[in-house]
């Protein structure tokens, strides 16, 4: 088959045609669809929807119309694209969770933050919001240029007058070809303050401008962390903002369980998808400790409740949620907008300046329009005044003329009137000839003269025009300004849960059975002597508060185990519980190996080189390590002491390197030496001999003392004594020491030693679960090599297994910890 030849067809290379066509296409997409105009902040589709609604007279206060009608009007007159795309744009302009300041008032289902789509356009109705009217104000006064629509049947505005600073207040998101725009929304009140500041001080720096505009203010609220990213996009137009959900942790007083409550989520995060993501992570066991997730949101606001297992702190779970779910999100900022028809990345001041320039142009064109109208009307009124001054002659001319045209010529020639003035005279009703109407005409003329003078003054003075723009902005702020929804927190870098927690003093209690909790410092209020006190915690019969101390939420607590390992725990990681709550088991907060148990703990604020950790084992080895060696926390712990087989760590002390150290043995020996006798070693060392033990003997305790301290020793059969430290001569380490207390058949071996003062109290617990609480002041200091006095009466087969020193206020009166009626030394069995 022969191919028909055409002389007007010229062959070209396809790559050239593709390049040219794709360039045309990309420019059309970027300029006509994706990128907003810097002046009014709208893309063409958004602008055309509002113009179509204006054509339909859908102003506030008037009934809403079906969205199908609005979409059809928009497509038919201005925007010949898909109806669903236009409807999606319309619906988004009505969504309060998408637009910081909605431009459309919607009635019906316009979607939700859960990602639910809007109802069909045949069901939903809408009209313009009050702010949309502000965007349209003065559009009929030749304030903006118009262009023919797609079929040249109507004219449409190329931009809206835009009194409302829409680009900065509502932001914009658009993906074009080779470029994308993502401007965050800001608070109207702050933006107005920034505009006023630029008008008053055109040379203002961006840093100074940031004092007026804090940063993004998203429709969904949430919290922004760090100002560096805000400053970056303020200066360069690009940046990345880290946003976190607003959360609180509720503690149930009775069950002691914690619930993480989410009340605000980051912008553009789908709530339903967020909940599904958390549920998936729980099912896949990537996040542990969550027992239930509930969406309790209602018309009063958002509420996502996440129940946490009792033995896991809610803060830990929340930290994992931030890291693994959209509860924490990074929002990229690209302040790209069309400036004179060209895409440009703008900083914050340039955005404001372009808005001011646009409003200035609108003001000039509006004033010029008003001036022309006023001058035209004044010209007409001048003619009417001439006619009223010569009313008889005017009537005579009109009656004597055969045609209207003849009357116009005679009046114009005789009185020097223009054609427009003569036409106004001929159109004037007879009732205007009354005296009252003449007075009104004079008033109107005087008013017109004043307005004309005012308009001319506005056009002649720049400072007057800038003042008008300022006044309009301030009025806008007064009518529509509101409080910020998004909170800003000055924290930079990678965020951790600690960044969210105030650095404040807390009270930490650790019970004898290993339960720990923290409480606010003001829980334990100061009381006068003789006060009744408050209940410190509800304990089981075999448990009591053994340690109570204060520490900052940002401090560490080092836990040392019997196997020589050290674990870290931040104070804020300890669950905050009610005053009477028991707390959580320490072993559930640490990743201990099987067979490990807590032997000692130390609260630490700073890991410096001026302090040391001194440890002792059951076999009498001691080791001193500089505190800074423990400054790199690891969740799985580190080796603090290399324990020999059959040995165990029993005590760890924080020292300043200049203490006297006392080590006591089970068989009643005690050695006192200066801390400097123990050289500083690395963490992996085994230590050196602190006390030389006899066969079958072992260490029961170690303490750091000063000269005013007394040493308390308690034996297995319930006997004990206090002795001044000065009674123990200072020797070298690795010695056998001196006799501390006689371990006769009556006393039994030593169970525990403590450094005590008269203000302390003792808590003694036995194998049968008997607990007695004694004031130390009832034990007067006695000699060193003595048997001591009876502290507790034991039943047959019962024996003391542990003793704890309680400082005043650590534990309040409790049925489980009541004092014995027996006082020490009652039977007078003290030996000389």
Query: What average pLDDT does the chain have?
Result: 86
Asked if residue 406 and residue 304 are part of one domain, the reply reads no
Q: Which of 12-16, 62-66, 117-121, 676-680 has the lowest mean pLDDT?
A: 12-16
Token pair listed for 817: 């910890």
Position 32 scores a pLDDT of 66
Decide if pLDDT at 274 tops 80.
yes
Asked if residue 362 and residue 311 are part of one domain, the reply reads no
Mean pLDDT of 251-278: 91
Token pair listed for 709: 């301290």
How many separate domains does the chain show? 4
**Within a domain: 170:** no
Token pair listed for 673: 């030496």
Q: Which tens digits make up the pLDDT trace of 140-184?
A: 999 999 999 999 999 999 999 999 999 999 999 888 777 789 999
Decide if pLDDT at 289 tops 80.
yes
226 vs 171, residue with greater confidence: 171
Nearest to 690 by CA among 611, 619, 749, 753: 619
Decide if pLDDT at 536 tops 50.
no
User: For residues 236 and 57, what is the distance between their CA atoms, to the nearest angstrom?
Assistant: 41
Decide if pLDDT at 532 tops 50.
no
Position 749 scores a pLDDT of 94
Position 79 scores a pLDDT of 93
Asked if residue 708 and residue 632 are part of one domain, the reply reads yes
Mark out the alpha helices in 428-525 (DSSP H runs).
435-460, 462-480
Position 572 scores a pLDDT of 84
**Within a domain: 741:** yes
Model confidence pTM above 0.75 = no
Q: Which of 110-114, 491-495, 526-530 has the lowest mean pLDDT?
A: 526-530
Q: Which tens digits make up the pLDDT trace of 384-420?
A: 888 888 888 888 888 888 888 888 888 888 888 898 8
Question: Please, which residues bridge with residue 261 across strands?
Answer: 248, 305
Number of residues in the chain: 832
Position 519 scores a pLDDT of 81
Q: Are strands 730-731 and 669-674 parallel, antiparallel or unpaired?
A: parallel
Output the domain CATH number for residue 294.
Answer: 3.30.1360.40
Q: Which of 223-227, 303-307, 543-547 has the lowest mean pLDDT?
A: 543-547
**Within a domain: 536:** no
**Within a domain: 103:** yes
Domain that holds residue 797: 598-817
Q: How far, rounded to the nearest angstrom, does the alpha carbon of residue 410 sit from its chain's CA centroid?
A: 81
662 within 8 A of 670, measured Cβ to Cβ: yes
Strand runs (DSSP E) across 521-578, as ranges?
Answer: 545-552, 556-561, 565-570
608 vs 636, residue with greater confidence: 608
Residue position matching structure tokens 């929340």: 318
Nearest to 388 by CA among 445, 453, 452: 445
Per-residue confidence at 812, pLDDT binned at 50, 70, 90?
very low
Q: Which tens digits make up the pLDDT trace of 174-208?
A: 887 777 899 999 999 999 999 999 999 999 999 99
**Within a domain: 503:** no
Position 433 scores a pLDDT of 67
Domain boundary among 326, 341, 371: 326
Q: How far, rounded to the nearest angstrom, does the alpha carbon of residue 143 sit from its chain's CA centroid?
A: 42
Asked if residue 793 and residue 702 are part of one domain, the reply reads yes
Domain boundary among 326, 341, 364: 326
**Within a domain: 391:** yes
Question: How many Cβ atoms sit within 10 Å of the Cβ of residue 594?
Answer: 4
Nearest to 193 by CA among 476, 490, 489: 476
Position 745 scores a pLDDT of 87
Residues 221, 225, 230, 231: what is their CA dihedral angle, to the nearest 10 degrees? 150
Decide if pLDDT at 341 tops 60.
yes
Asked if residue 143 and residue 289 are part of one domain, the reply reads no
Asked if residue 388 and residue 259 are part of one domain, the reply reads no
Catalytic, 123? Answer yes
Position 764 scores a pLDDT of 85
**Within a domain: 740:** yes
From 123, 455, 567, 630, the catalytic residue: 123
Nearest to 495 by CA among 321, 249, 633: 321
Output the domain CATH number for residue 730.
Answer: 2.120.10.90
Asked if residue 292 and residue 413 are part of one domain, the reply reads no
Residue 494 makes CB contacts below 8 A (sequence gap 6+) with none
Output the domain CATH number for residue 45.
Answer: 3.90.199.10
Decide if pLDDT at 530 tops 50.
no
Asked if residue 416 and residue 372 are part of one domain, the reply reads yes
Mean pLDDT of 124-132: 97
Q: Which tens digits make up the pLDDT trace of 348-398?
A: 999 999 999 999 999 999 999 999 999 999 999 998 888 888 888 888 888
* DSSP, residue by residue, 129-146: -HHHHHHHTTTTTT-S-E
Position 827 scores a pLDDT of 41
691 within 8 A of 754, measured Cβ to Cβ: no
Q: Which tens digits make up the pLDDT trace of 617-629?
A: 999 999 999 999 9
**Within a domain: 223:** no
Domain boundary among 106, 135, 164: 164
Per-residue confidence at 826, pLDDT binned at 50, 70, 90?
very low
Decide if pLDDT at 806 tops 80.
no
Q: Which of 134-148, 515-529, 733-747, 809-823 has the lowest mean pLDDT?
A: 809-823
Asked if residue 800 and residue 683 are part of one domain, the reply reads yes
Mean pLDDT of 599-612: 89
Asked if residue 388 and residue 470 are part of one domain, the reply reads yes
Asked if residue 778 and residue 652 are part of one domain, the reply reads yes
Helix and strand counts by DSSP (H, E) for the chain: 17, 41
User: For residues 293 and 275, what is the distance between their CA atoms, to the nearest angstrom?
Assistant: 8
Mean pLDDT of 741-756: 90
Position 25 scores a pLDDT of 64
Q: What percent of the chain has pLDDT over 70?
A: 89
User: For residues 324 and 216, what is the distance between their CA atoms, to the nearest angstrom?
Assistant: 24
Asked if residue 273 and residue 160 are part of one domain, the reply reads no
């Amino acid at each position: 088959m022969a191919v028909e030849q055409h002389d007007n067809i010229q062959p070209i290379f396809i790559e050239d045609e593709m390049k040219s066509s794709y360039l045309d296409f990309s420019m059309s997409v970027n300029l006509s669809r994706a990128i907003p105009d810097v002046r009014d902040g709208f893309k063409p589709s958004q602008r055309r929807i509002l113009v179509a609604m204006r054509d339909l007279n859908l102003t506030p206060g008037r009934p809403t119309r079906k969205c199908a009608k609005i979409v059809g009007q928009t497509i038919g007159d201005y925007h010949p694209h898909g109806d669903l795309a236009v409807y999606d744009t319309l619906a988004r302009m009505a969504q309060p969770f998408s637009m910081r300041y909605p431009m459309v008032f919607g009635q019906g289902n316009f979607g939700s933050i859960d990602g639910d789509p809007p109802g069909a356009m045949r069901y939903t109705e809408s009209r313009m919001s009050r702010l949309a009217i502000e965007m349209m104000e003065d559009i009929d006064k030749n304030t903006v240029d118009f262009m023919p629509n797609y079929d040249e049947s109507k004219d449409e505005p190329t931009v809206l007058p835009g009194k409302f600073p829409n680009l900065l207040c509502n932001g914009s998101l658009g993906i074009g070809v080779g470029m994308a725009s993502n401007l965050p929304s800001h608070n109207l009140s702050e933006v107005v303050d920034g505009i006023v500041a630029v008008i008053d001080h055109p040379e203002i720096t961006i840093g100074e401008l940031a004092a007026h505009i804090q940063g993004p203010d998203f429709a969904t609220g949430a919290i922004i962390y760090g100002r560096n990213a805000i400053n970056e996009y303020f200066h360069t137009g690009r940046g990345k903002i880290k946003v976190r959900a607003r959360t609180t942790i509720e503690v149930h007083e009775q069950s002691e369980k914690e619930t993480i409550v989410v009340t605000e989520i980051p912008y553009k995060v789908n709530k339903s998808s967020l909940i599904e993501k958390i549920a998936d992570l729980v099912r896949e066991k990537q996040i542990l400790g969550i027992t239930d997730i509930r969406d309790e949101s209602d018309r009063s606001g958002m509420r996502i409740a996440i129940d946490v297992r009792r033995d896991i702190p809610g803060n830990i779970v929340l930290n994992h949620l931030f890291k693994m779910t959209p509860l924490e999100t990074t929002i990229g900022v690209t302040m790209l907008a069309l400036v004179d028809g060209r895409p440009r990345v703008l900083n914050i001041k340039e955005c404001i300046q372009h808005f001011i320039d646009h409003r200035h142009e609108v003001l000039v064109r509006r004033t010029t329009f008003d001036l022309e109208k006023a001058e035209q009307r004044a010209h007409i009124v001048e003619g009417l005044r001439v006619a009223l001054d010569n009313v008889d002659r005017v009537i005579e001319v009109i009656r004597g003329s055969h045609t209207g045209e003849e009357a116009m010529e005679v009046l114009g020639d005789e009185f020097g009137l223009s054609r427009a003035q003569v036409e106004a005279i001929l159109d004037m009703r007879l009732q205007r000839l009354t005296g009252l109407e003449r007075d009104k005409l004079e008033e109107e003329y005087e008013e017109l003269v004043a307005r004309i003078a005012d308009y001319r003054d506005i056009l002649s003075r720049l400072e007057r025009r800038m003042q008008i723009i300022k006044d309009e902005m301030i009025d806008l702020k007064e009518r529509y300004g509101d409080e910020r929804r998004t909170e800003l927190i000055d924290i930079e870098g990678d965020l951790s849960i600690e960044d969210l927690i105030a650095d404040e003093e807390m009270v930490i209690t650790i019970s004898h059975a290993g339960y720990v909790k923290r409480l606010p410092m003001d829980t334990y209020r100061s009381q006068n002597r003789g006060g009744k006190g408050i209940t410190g915690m509800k304990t089981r019969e075999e448990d009591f508060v053994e340690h109570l101390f204060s520490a900052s939420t940002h401090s560490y607590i080092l836990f040392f185990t019997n196997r020589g390992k050290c674990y870290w725990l931040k104070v804020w990681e300890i669950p905050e519980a009610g005053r009477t709550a028991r707390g959580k088991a320490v072993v559930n907060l640490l990743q201990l190996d099987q067979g490990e148990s807590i032997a000692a703990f130390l609260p630490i604020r700073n890991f410096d080189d001026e302090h040391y950790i001194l440890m002792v084992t059951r076999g009498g080895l001691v080791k001193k390590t500089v505190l800074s060696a423990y400054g790199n926390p690891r969740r799985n712990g580190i080796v603090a002491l290399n324990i020999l087989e059959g040995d165990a760590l029993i005590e760890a002390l924080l020292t300043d390197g200049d203490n006297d150290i006392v080590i006591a043995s089970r068989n009643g020996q005690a050695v006192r030496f200066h801390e400097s006798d123990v050289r500083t070693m690395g963490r992996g060392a085994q230590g050196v001999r602190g006390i030389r033990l006899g066969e079958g003997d072992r260490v029961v305790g170690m303490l750091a003392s000063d000269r005013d301290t007394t040493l308390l020793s308690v034996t297995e059969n319930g006997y004990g004594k206090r002795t001044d430290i000065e009674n123990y001569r200072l020797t070298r380490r690795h010695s056998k020491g001196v006799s501390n207390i006689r371990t006769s058949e009556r006393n039994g071996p030593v169970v525990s030693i403590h450094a005590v003062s008269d203000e302390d109290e003792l808590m003694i617990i036995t194998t049968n679960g008997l607990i007695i609480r004694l004031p130390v002041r009832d034990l007067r200091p006695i000699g060193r090599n003595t048997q001591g006095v009876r502290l507790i009466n034991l039943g047959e087969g019962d024996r003391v297994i542990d003793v704890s020193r309680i400082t005043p206020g650590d534990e309040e009166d409790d049925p489980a910890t009541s004092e014995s009626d027996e006082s020490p030394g009652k039977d007078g069995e003290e030996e000389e």
